[in-house]
Chains A and B, each alone.
Chain A
Amino acid sequence: MIETLGMYFQFPFVRYALIVGVLIALCSSLLGVTLVLRRFSFIGDGLSHVAFGALAVAGILNLTDDMLFVLPVTVLAAVLLLRTGQNTKIKGDAAIAMISVSALAIGYLLMNLFSTSTNLSGDVCSTLFGSTSILTLTQGEVWLCAVLSIAVVALFILFYNKLFAVTFDEDFARASGTRVEAYNLLIAVVIAVIIVLAMNLVGSLLISALIIFPAMSAMRIFRSFRAVTLCSGVLSVVCALLGILISIVSGTPVGSTIVAVNMAAFLLCCGAARIQGGKA
């Protein structure tokens, strides 16, 4: 078994995939805790569809570097979504659902009408499900992913205490002089960055799994914010590693394998919580 893996590790793209996959998984799980606790779980889903639409447009415009277009558009959508979440006129969840399906539909429509690619269904499929994009990153993309992920982790550690305060009690934080809006904006931007990165790993349909599952699993077992955050990070990294390795060895699609491993971890955590609860 180790020999088999050793053989696969000869390929540089396998090593890249593992590094980038782990970093992306770590980022998404850290932010996931905040999103789940603030009842924003669906934002990941909404934004990933927006990113899909943006990617479609970038493809039509024949941009050489999609990221430069997709990233700003997704950031903008994230800011708008978080803002409507506070607005009472359109309920947050309805706004997200509307934006996400619109982006998905328009994206696919535009691709169908204007795409210059010969393999349309392949393009759509690999954008939606990730396919093997994590294994076909160029060296530049690997660096971009690595730098952005490390920036996200650094920001998270630096603002960990503020994030806790804002997540636990927004009103209290605001009353005690914390600039809640600024942090919400920061969160929105970081989520957008993670979504765009994670599209490479699992494709846009499966991103919310990467954000929600580790946090939910960790919350089954642990009862302090710090432990939940740490556990969710560790779980997410382990699941991503396992998922990538399994898919490489057995030839299953990367994204769905990672999500399946995450699901298994969640079930295990539920079981562990039950054992824990039974004894207590």
Chain B
Amino acid sequence: MAQLTCSGLSLGYERRVICAGLSFSVNEGDYLCIVGENGSGKTTLMKTILGLQKPLAGSIAFGDGLKAGEIGYLPQQTAAQKDFPATVWEVALSGCQARMGRRPFYSRQEKEETRRNLARMGMEGLAGRCYRDLSGGQQQRVLLARALCATRKLLLLDEPVSGLDPAVTAEMYALITRLNREEKVTIIMISHDPGAVQYASHVLHIGRELFFGTAQAYREKWENGDFDFMRGGSAL
């Protein structure tokens, strides 16, 4: 049984359909990269998986011990966070929110887990620092630690490298790959960066043309120039 199964999804707002007939599944330990042009519905798909938005048609099923709400989510940064007074510790700890239910305060276990997750990201030394004073890459690591506090199984990353310089981008990809390979965390990553595909095990391409398969099949198809949109000579 797959952790996440989407069948016959139609995405969009009100009556405007952005993307229809989307079916794919994600198994434990997979590294799925979702690519597509701007406006192709990547963000809408992500919001639908997270349950923030209802699909126009089709269904999303969770299995293999994964429940809705157990997804660790790494959102794109908002403008408000740029000058938000909060320490690294406070931000990371808030990832434990999901498990607390109605309980108002954090337990010792949750604090311990937060400490561990910050250490996994190499950020334990900066726990007392102010979030807004960190570099872009460090901020992403903190948010990743927070996402790990919310899940042990599946991470959903929304453009994790946008705005980062090439060296930090490579570091970030390495970190994500390590989480996937060594700690068996399932990864779903949204990216407009074609380079992101090389780390993935599976690729979902949405847009004018739908593709779902292994990363290898995607690369072969790519190299053969089998995509319709490539024939138009569009620069990518």
A–B direct contact (CB < 8 Å): yes
**In the bound complex, do residue B130 and residue A176 qualify as a contact, i.e. CB atoms below 8 Å apart?**
no
Q: Annotate B82-125 by CB proximity to A: 1 below 8 A, 0 otherwise.
A: 00111100110011011010001110000000000000000000
A176 touches B104 (CB 8 A): no
Q: Are A178 and B98 in contact (CB under 8 A)?
A: yes
B85 touches A174 (CB 8 A): no
Cβ of B135 < 8 Å from any Cβ of A?
A: no
User: A174 contacts which chain B residues (CB < 8 A)?
Assistant: 50, 52
Q: Which residues of B contact A37 (CB under 8 A)?
A: 80, 84-85
CB <8 Å contact, A39 and B150? no
Cβ B85 vs Cβ A168 within 8 A: no
A178–B156 Cα gap in the complex (Å)? Answer: 17
Given contacts A159-B104, A172-B146, A176-B150, contact A224 B87 (CB under 8 A): yes
Please give, as numbers and ranges, the residues of chain B lying within 8 Å of A50 by CB-CB distance.
none
Known A-B contacts A38-B80, A219-B85; the reply to A175 vs B71 at CB < 8 A is yes
Residues of A within 8 A of B52 (CB): 171, 174-175
Question: Assuming A169-B75, A177-B69, A228-B85, is B130 touching A223 (CB within 8 A)?
Answer: yes
Alpha-carbon distance between A174 and B51 when the two chains are bound, in angstroms: 9
- The verdict on A223 contacting B133 (CB below 8 Å), with A160-B104, A176-B95 known, is yes
Known contacts A38-B80, A175-B51; is A222 also within 8 Å of B94 by CB?
no
Asked if B73 lies at the interface with its beta carbon under 8 angstroms from chain A, I say yes
Q: Could you say which residues of chain B place their CB within 8 Å of the CB of A172?
A: 73, 75, 94-95, 146, 150
Which 5 A/B pairs are nearest by Cβ-Cβ distance?
A: A176-B98, A223-B130, A177-B69, A175-B50, A224-B87
B224 contacts the other chain (CB 8 A):
no
Partner of B94, one of A39, A161, A227: A161
CA distance A176 to B156 in the complex (A): 12
Does B234 belong to the interface (CB within 8 Å)? no
**Does any Cβ of B come within 8 Å of A114's Cβ?**
no
**For window 127-166 of chain B, which residues contact chain A by CB distance below 8 Å?**
128, 130, 132-133, 146, 150, 156
